Structure 1
């Protein structure tokens, strides 16, 4: 056998050995178990034609470090690639250190928004070899080519890497054409009980100072026919919820109309969640949305503040009145769930201004209100202007605001209590009638939630887990200790809200049924053959629940309901009378 033949054979075997040995573990640490990671799926899909072993493993920040480490090491990867965000970077740092302690030969690659700014200095601090900056699909593909011996590392743009303790970059990578992306979900993928993420565009037309999207100008779209085809995949799989990660989905009128019309006409129970800018909704879009099946769409609307001066300081050139008008029009349609966001700690907004913002948004009565706190993200212009506004923020992820020259730390803590009360009691939609009754006893909704939060704290409930029934009983204690009013009406409303979302069996003593046996027997005889009382149970109220729900009127009279074991509720009062 000649020398050239031997060399050729050796080279072939060596390349094959590299390919067999090269295994990259794409690792996602999600904020919740029900979430799924879109980024790692994109990377795997974009390299699925390449000769290397690629596997995705997803964990959550609630998993123990030691268990995640065990699962990673069990995979025997050559490279562990982490998808980093503000909510998981601290855990990923710990995992990286542990991986290197177990096997220093495992290389670590980082990508994602948390390492895409000041990447050179970040890589010096991290226990690992590589960072992909910004959009990762093409850079990752070339990285794989390098690892299997088909490319020199110094030809890969967008990749930071270490050479003799120095960090090297070969140049920035230009943004890609969206149609080059490979659909990230596989035909046999199990998406049951998962929130599934999808994007039809990248970029944002706005320039909000607190957001990283402002660092990239312009919006790029996937071909609309391809988007429809990919959405059909989720529909066919009967995915429960698809969340579009597009920063402002309705920024392109023609694109928006066509996608919404397509989804409206589908026969599906799949829900679709969009982040939209309400103020730019057009009349034709609102008319189209009237045709949407109930709960087909969910909208997240970033209000942030209702103070127009503060809005202009963060480069949101819009008036709250415009947002309110469109949100209220959507509410009148009654078929789309709306989630409105506020951010505390914005430049120029003090405690009283935020209080007004809260009351303004609450007056609209959307299905959900999210109280967030300003996060000064790496690379955002808001962080660069922090000193100007006296902003002090945590140096640790998620870099949350502690105080500004306009709002104190103690005031921020007050708002955090309100945030927890709003999330638990308002956003859950399980206490609607109780809250509707109690909130009117205060000057403003803000005052109610502030007082409730203080009482919650006084009872010690922020520092311990409490049972489901205790969340209801709290209102009776709150009434007794704070309002000092007779609880006849409150008990009836509390019982109705409780039974709407909880089974009668195990109903707490403080709202026990007052339906006597004789009355129950009479009702069952009346509706014999109409309802199966194996599937329904009867409850009587001493106030007219229906009139309160519809018109906020308190009328002391008997009101009868059937509560189904499947959650349906039937009012039978008129038939009894």
Structure 2
């Protein structure tokens, strides 16, 4: 029996690959030995290659994305150097456009274009009928390379019915400590020029009752995070409300993550979100820019004020984490405009602010317009913007440094009180992160590993060298944030510890008398009333113990 290896190289170990699971589930009744192997791009190439070859496969199918395509091509070359009889098939978004030229230049034999389930099934059945070694396959959705090196194409395949997709998870799957991906719909109602979804018209949905059963299964498996891959989960408000109601009522600790368009949230959607248990839902909102003209340049017809209104409404519910996205390098947006976008979004105070950079993906309309916008982008995956007629390469690099410190300090949530102290000292939030990013750049901190305590110490250095201010209050705030997220038994030497044994004993005895003491409690002495400062912005000097 021929051995087929469905292979995924994920961007991180914690990720799982939905595509290869779909393919295996859709072809499980076919008389091949089909198995899945998952790796990470952080694995050594030699180890991954050896692991694949240990399986003695007859065909290796790779799931291809912008983050792994170079890794995959290296693996394909190594496989063919050992055994030219091992057939190689590629699929996924990174090879679904200009597939003919990709296959001509690659070491592989086949490329699946677009959705893979029905094409792979038909391909396997064709192999069973015509012989596994036959290469001149001409089924819909498949490019194949014959023995003469010619590329054969079976023509475009129509989009499949979503309910034909086979649920890819089973009782025996170990889904612990993994992000599990789930797909309720395919397609997007919008036509943003930088997104591949703009090339496919319409949105297809799973049958609602089926989706409920499948999500209940994942919940019962105690999956920590289910991430919906839908491009716009709330494209159909009626279905959105029904599914959110169902998930909100589940008895589960599973967190469900959705990518939504906030401006089209209905009052009924907001009502359901308001009633959801805290920590049940997490929302990712694509803002991209707050400049309406820039958004029109990419076919996004939405105003930031509409997004802001909904985001602030959800924020008041105090039960849902929100993640807002910006994209640098959009057509028509210069640095001044982007800075305004950053400050606009920062003013909303989302739990996370993702600063991304325009990627000119294969097959996207944006790539076709690149020349007219003076865009220069990397010819290598992930095809990221280098400059446009509106923003220079140096300005893009400046924003890269801002992105690094925003992600480390703002998005981690471990430095919130320090940031509340620091940011108001600058004209705007962007100016603070710009200055901090440049400071990190000068110090070389962006190019080497920094210890966890080193990220706290950097604020003291920054305060000394950039602001040239006294560190006494700042050190106490740093100590407070540090102890919230790190071991309490030790604090780094750049912070002061004022604890006294007799005072600690007195506090412990008081708590014991009230029956409120346990051995996991930690007491830390501060030289200011830190809670008054944090909660009321009052700088009151005087000894205070805080219980952690």
Answer with 475-484 or 538-547: which moved more: 538-547
Q: Deviations over 1:430-477 (max 9, x none)?
A: 000001100000000001001111111122111211211111011111
**Structure-2 residue corresponding to 1:183:** 167
Match of residue 58 from structure 1: 38
Structure 1 CA distance for aligned equivalents of residues 127 and 171 of structure 2: 28
Structure 2 residue 27 is the aligned partner of structure 1 residue 47: yes
What SS does the aligned partner of 2:354 have?
strand
Report what 2:462 is aligned to: 478
Unaligned regions of 5+ residues in structure 1, if any? 1-19, 564-577
Task: Indicate the RMSD between aligned Cα atoms, in angstroms.
Answer: 1.2
Distance 1:294 1:501 in 2: 21
- The corresponding residue for 1:498 is 482
How many positions carry a matched residue from both structures? 543
| Matching of residues 77-88 of structure 1 within 5 Å | 77-88=57-68
Aligned with 1:260 (options 244, 247, 250): 244
The reply to whether residue 534 of structure 1 matches residue 514 of structure 2 is no
Separation (CA, whole Å) in 1 of partners of 2:95 and 2:389: 29
Match runs of 1:81-480 below 5 Å? 81-149=61-129, 154=137, 156-163=139-146, 164-480=148-464
- For 1:559, which of 540, 544, 547 is the aligned residue? 544
2-side partners of 1:246 and 1:548: how far apart? 43
Deviation at 1:515, TM superposition (A): 2.0
For the residues of structure 2 that align with 1:432 and 1:143, how far apart are their CA atoms? Answer: 54
Q: CA deviation at 1:154?
A: 4.5
Extract structure 1 runs of 4+ deviating beyond 4 A: 150-155
Whole-Å separation in 1 of the counterparts to 2:97 and 2:18: 20
Conserved 8 A contact 2:231-2:259: yes
- 8 Å Cα contact 2:325/2:356 also seen in 1: yes
Separation in 2, partners of 1:481, 1:159: 60
Q: Which moved more, 1:415-424 or 1:448-457?
A: 448-457
Tell me, yes or no, if the aligned pair for 2:137 and 2:144 is still in contact at 8 Å: no
Q: Which of 546-555 and 428-437 deviates more? A: 546-555
Give the conservation status (yes or no) of the 8 Å contact 2:287–2:326: yes
Cα distance in 1 between the residues matched to 2:537 and 2:75: 54
Larger mean CA deviation between 288-297 and 456-465 belongs to 456-465
Distance 1:383 1:506 in 2: 53
Structure 1 residue 155, shift from structure 2 partner: 5.0
Measured in 2, the distance between the counterparts of 1:111 and 1:450 equals 40
Residue by residue over 1:218-243, the C-alpha shift from the partner in whole angstroms, topping out at 9 and shown as x without a partner, is 00001000000000111100000000
CA contact (8 A) 2:138 2:152 kept: no
Kindly provide the CA deviation profile for residues 33-65 of structure 1, in whole angstroms up to 9, marking residues without a partner as x: 000000000000001111111000000001111
SS in 2 for 1:510: coil
SS of residue matched to 1:69: helix
* Distance in 2 between residues matched to 1:555 and 1:352, nearest whole Å: 39
- Residue 73 of structure 1 pairs with residue 57 of structure 2: no
SS at match of 1:511: coil
**Equivalent position SS for 2:512:** coil
Choose 485-494 or 52-61, whichever is displaced more: 485-494
Q: Give the whole-Å Cα distance in 1 for the aligned partners of 2:70 and 2:539.
A: 53
- Say whether the 8 Å CA contact 2:180–2:225 is kept in structure 1: yes
**Paired residue for 1:571?**
none
SS of residue in 2 equivalent to 1:342: strand
Query: Which residue is equivalent to 1:14?
Result: none
Distance 1:27 1:219 in 2: 28
Q: How big is the shift at 1:543?
A: 2.4
Instruction: Name the CA distance, whole Å, in 1 between partners of 2:315 and 2:541.
Output: 31
Counterpart-to-counterpart distance in 1, 2:463 and 2:435 = 11
Counterpart-to-counterpart distance in 1, 2:166 and 2:225: 21
CA distance in 2, matches of 1:484, 1:154: 71
Q: Whole-Å Cα distance in 1 between the matches of residues 248 and 534 of structure 2?
A: 30
Q: Distance in 1 between matches of 2:455 and 2:414?
A: 10
Instruction: Provide the rounded CA distance (Å) in 1 between the counterparts of 2:452 and 2:546.
Output: 23
**Secondary structure of 2:325's aligned partner:** strand
User: Which residue in 2 is equivalent to 1:10?
Assistant: none
> Which position in structure 2 is the counterpart of 1:509?
493
In 2, distance between residues paired with 1:404 and 1:440? 32
Larger radius of gyration: 1
Residue 138 of structure 2 contacts residue 153 of structure 2 at CA under 8 Å; is this kept in 1?
no
Is residue 234–residue 260 contact of structure 2 (8 Å, CA) maintained in 1?
A: yes
How far 1:549 moved relative to its partner? 2.8
Q: Counterparts of 1:333 and 1:510 in 2: how far apart (Å)?
A: 39
2:534 alignment partner, SS class: helix
The Cα of 1:150 is off from its aligned counterpart by 5.8
1:533, CA displacement in angstroms? 4.7
